[in-house]
Chains A and B, each alone.
Chain A
Amino acid sequence: MKIHKYDTVIVGAGGAGMRAAIEATKRSRTAVLTKLYPTRSHTGAAQGGMAAALANVEEDNWEWHTFDTVKGGDYLVDQDAAEILAKEAIDAVLDLEKMGLPFNRTPAGQIDQRRFGGHSRNHGEAPVRRSCYAADRTGHMILQTLYQNCVKEGVEFFNEFYVLDQLITEVDGVKKSAGVVAYELATGEIHIFQAKAVIYASGGCGKFFRVTSNAHTLTGDGQAAVYRRGLPLEDMEFFQFHPTGIWRMGILLTEGARGEGGILRNKDGERFMEKYAPVMKDLASRDVVSRSIYTEIREGRGCGPEGDHVYLDLTHLPPEQLDAKLPDITEFARTYLGIEPYTDPIPIQPTAHYAMGGIPTNVEGEVLADNTTVVPGLYAAGEVACVSVHGANRLGTNSLLDINVFGRRAGIAAAEYSAKNDYVDLPENPEALVVEQVERLRNSTGTERVAQIRRELQETMDANVMVFRTEQTIKTAVEKIGELRARYKNVAIQDKGKRFNTDLLEAIELGNLLDLAEVMAVSALARKESRGGHYREDYPNRDDVNFMRHTMAYREVGDDGTETVRLDYKPVVQTRYQPMERKY
């Protein structure tokens, strides 16, 4: 076991982690621990753009952007945070441009902007061009640009280091972050990183669904690490299903395709979104579009022999426009479906895409231990966190924005904290939990297989807690997850070695997914209303009287060792917008 000491440790090297690292490295001795090489992070898969009211191509302002974000999130958004997001968006985009990001340009040489779902002029009048983009690889360009600037700033990376545990020490009755425990993939060695400040920026947890746009590696490691240490997770029932995933595979086809003029059609060729969202049509918010697609499918208007998908139609757009603006997604259609998007519509279905919920933080990125108390020295930003700027449903292009605005904020806040504070003592045997976990898996003689349990978990999540939910389906999921958690205790791996043991890591990741799936289902069961991405057929209306509040889920361990999820609630921060009925 090795012990390292850094002022600031960042967990994860996607957009939020590297944006934080650029700030933290300038201000403190910083290490970035990442389970992948930095440029492998899933920020790179984001396509459509990053919202900011630059007003480069038409009138726009950050107040309209704030309103759209709040409305898009079905009024579960903390409005103070949304205001910061929209206001700082402009500098966030300009900062990236100055760092070198090759945005598409207007004829005048400014950053070009295009339409995106839910973004509107003057509080819902009509779609507005707010998304700053680089073809359909904006996320790739952000990830590359941030990595390039990390190279420039000399950021210190520990690649293929998996953080498996959060260390917390109680000082004078206050729980403080003491550091993290990491597992080095190449050697199997366990490392303690003692740090004054820790920032989680480890991304989402979409891999508990089967049809998902998420990478294999998005297994909620950061959320699980803090949750197991008694810290809450906020609004985990809110998961976004992106309307246009490639049929059966879930690979993302950007909303920018509809921003460029693409149209969703059912088996009769009907532009069905006109029925559900007369103003914004195909560019309504993602939750609305995904539900509309499944409504079409359920009512027998889906395409294909099984009627289980609809079409994304780009055939009326000029090939030159597709080549210039949507080169990657048209290539995905060719590569994975053998379809030529110039002439044929693309079969799509909603795909599990983004966790609105996560580790609760305030607007400085400080992690909360309950509704109000901050954990000194602990920060989170990006998809792993819940500020909450996305509320019940995130708008497209607001996640690339979130990672830049709140990644930067967390990086600065953490480094300033480490400049003013000393190390907290490590707890006794800091490595104990991780050693126990790793050894148990390595030595297990159980009969259960990781892939089998993961498959069953994904199937139950897809069937029971996806776009449409009821008490019955969620209870089925809760029960199944309970069974799988019990079986997981009996899981065994085949690779017993130390070197690059990805068999072991997949087992650990599955444990994280099971914990988070349970939190999600239990949170969803208790929310007896429909709001944003959480749609209950048995409670189809939003209920602001009882449920305009954030869910806070805590892990409770009984005297007999049984684990349960305890739910509490946190008020929503409202500033200038009163909840209204949401229409597009």
Chain B
Amino acid sequence: MATPVLDKVEAESAASPYITVTFRVRRFNPEVSAEATWEDFQLEIDPKERVLDGLHKIKWELDGTLTFRRSCAHGICGSDAMRINGRNRLACKTLIKDINPEKPITIEPIKGLTVLKDLVVDMEPFFQAYRDVMPFLVTTGNEPTRERLQSPEDRERFDDTTKCILCAACTSSCPVFWNDGQYFGPAAIVNAHRFIFDSRDEAGEQRLEILNDKDGVWRCRTTFNCTDACPRGIEVTKAIQEVKRALITRRF
């Protein structure tokens, strides 16, 4: 095994780590103005900190009115998806050093959902699409006394799509969804996939019919924005393709 020694991480942290960055934040508060505006904030911050740390620094030291959602701060709860330098990411999983802090860092709400205040959007349509795909295990017959058996291979079949944290980074990166909010969007399809390919589930056909709708999977134009945006590394586009294929072959 490798013997632990003083490593590079510690050597770096010994020097003064702070740099000056500009956060260019999209502000909107209908209590104040009907117009959204850009506002710049200068921060002294360690570039190894998260964008979320920068937003907190603004809120706690400069402007308490800056509004955003957050909770766990390490990429698990899905609260703080936002558009950072034009790309959907979680603010708590994006380190400042990784997004070119030499230039102003732009931060906007995710697109395609109504902005309520600053970086806070209305998540209801997103969760409604999720609820519409029957995101729960459906079985018939008597329940076994013990657990249902499932082979490790069958369990592996849908492993990728169980990682979804419902942050909406994928759905709100999708050009089809931007143009038409009726589209179920990648996240709902991912969560349908999670059950369609679960060997224990018996409602695959029903879910496929839901997604065969005009606002279902066929709206997908395979632009891969969703896969790029997913902070959990889910192969979203592939999952959507698998659902499309299942619709054609009726095999899953």
Contact = CB atoms under 8 A, between A and B. Distances in A.
Contacts of A124: none
Interface in B189-207: 195, 198, 200-201
Contact of B1 (A103, A249, A313): A313
B9 A339 contact: yes
A104 interface: yes
B75 A265 contact: no
Indicate the member of B68, B77, B127 with the most A CB atoms within 10 Å: B77
Contact of A44 (B3, B67, B72): B72
Given A104-B155, A108-B149, A98 B4 contact: no
B79 interface: yes
B92 to A, nearest CB: 10
A304 B93 CA distance: 25
Interface in A223-279: 249, 251, 265, 267, 269
A141 B71 contact: no
A65 B135 CA distance: 34
A345 B71 contact: no
A254 to B, nearest CB: 12
B184 to A, nearest CB: 15
Contact of B4 (A99, A328, A338, A345): A345
B2 A345 contact: yes
Interface string B133-173: 00111010001001111111001001100111110000000
Interface stretch (B56-64, B174-182, B214-222): B56-64
B71 A305 contact: no
B149 A109 contact: yes
B65 A109 contact: no
A305 B93 CA distance: 27
B63 A494 contact: yes
A493 B63 CA distance: 10
Nearest to B144: A98
A57 interface: no
A265 B4 contact: yes
A343 B2 contact: yes
B73 A149 contact: no
A344 to B, nearest CB: 6
B61 to A, nearest CB: 7
B250 to A, nearest CB: 22
B4 A149 contact: no
Interface in A199-234: 215-217
Nearest to A304: B10
Contact of B147 (A111, A141, A152, A267): A111
Interface of A is mostly: loop
B56 to A, nearest CB: 8
Contacts of A134: 162
Contacts of A265: 4
A249 B9 CA distance: 14
A217 B9 CA distance: 30
B6 interface: yes
A495 B29 CA distance: 11
Contact of A497 (B65, B95, B135): B65
Contacts of B60: 449-451
A45 B78 CA distance: 11
A451 B79 CA distance: 21
Contacts of A335: 75, 93, 95
Contact of A305 (B4, B6, B72, B75): B6
A394 interface: no
A42 interface: yes
Contact of B150 (A98, A105, A137): A105
Interface string B74-89: 1111110000000000
B14 interface: yes
A130 interface: no
A186 interface: yes
B143 A152 contact: no
Contact of A40 (B9, B77, B135, B159): B77
Interface string A21-41: 000000000000000110111
B232 to A, nearest CB: 9
B51 to A, nearest CB: 12
A144 interface: yes
Contacts of B59: 451, 502-503
A39 B150 contact: no
Contacts of B229: none
B35 interface: no
A97 B9 contact: no
Nearest to B93: A335
A40 B155 contact: no
Contact of A97 (B7, B131, B147): B147
B71 A215 contact: yes
B99 interface: no
Interface string B106-134: 00000000001110100100010001000
A311 B6 CA distance: 11
Nearest to B146: A94
B35 to A, nearest CB: 16
Nearest to B123: A37
Contacts of A343: 2
B244 interface: no
Contact of B31 (A316, A451, A497): A497
B1 A494 contact: no
B1 A315 contact: yes
A103 B2 CA distance: 32
B118 to A, nearest CB: 8
A107 B159 CA distance: 16
B26 interface: no
Interface in A142-183: 144, 148-149, 151-152
Nearest to B64: A494
Interface in B7-64: 7, 9-11, 13-14, 29-32, 48, 59-61, 63-64
A489 interface: no
Interface string A468-504: 0000000000000000000000000111011111110
A104 B147 CA distance: 12
Contacts of A110: 146-147, 149
Contact of A94 (B3, B10, B147, B164): B147
A215 B72 contact: yes
Contacts of A319: none
B73 A102 contact: no
Nearest to A492: B64
A330 B23 CA distance: 29
Given A97-B147, A102-B159, 20 more contacts: A40-B77, A40-B79, A41-B77, A94-B147, A98-B148, A99-B136, A105-B152, A105-B155, A107-B152, A109-B149, A109-B151, A152-B136, A215-B77, A269-B3, A303-B4, A335-B75, A336-B74, A494-B63, A494-B64, A495-B64
Interface of A: 36-37, 39-42, 44-45, 93-94, 97-100, 102-111, 134-135, 137, 140-141, 144, 148-149, 151-152, 186, 215-217, 249, 251, 265, 267, 269, 303-305, 311, 313, 315-316, 328, 331-332, 335-339, 343-345, 347, 449-451, 493-495, 497-503
23 contacts: A37-B123, A39-B166, A40-B69, A44-B77, A105-B149, A105-B152, A135-B159, A137-B162, A149-B136, A216-B71, A303-B4, A304-B6, A304-B10, A305-B10, A315-B2, A335-B95, A345-B4, A450-B64, A451-B60, A494-B65, A498-B31, A499-B29, A500-B120
Identify the 7 closest CB pairs spanning chains A and B, nearest first: A100-B137, A494-B64, A451-B60, A109-B149, A503-B64, A148-B136, A152-B136
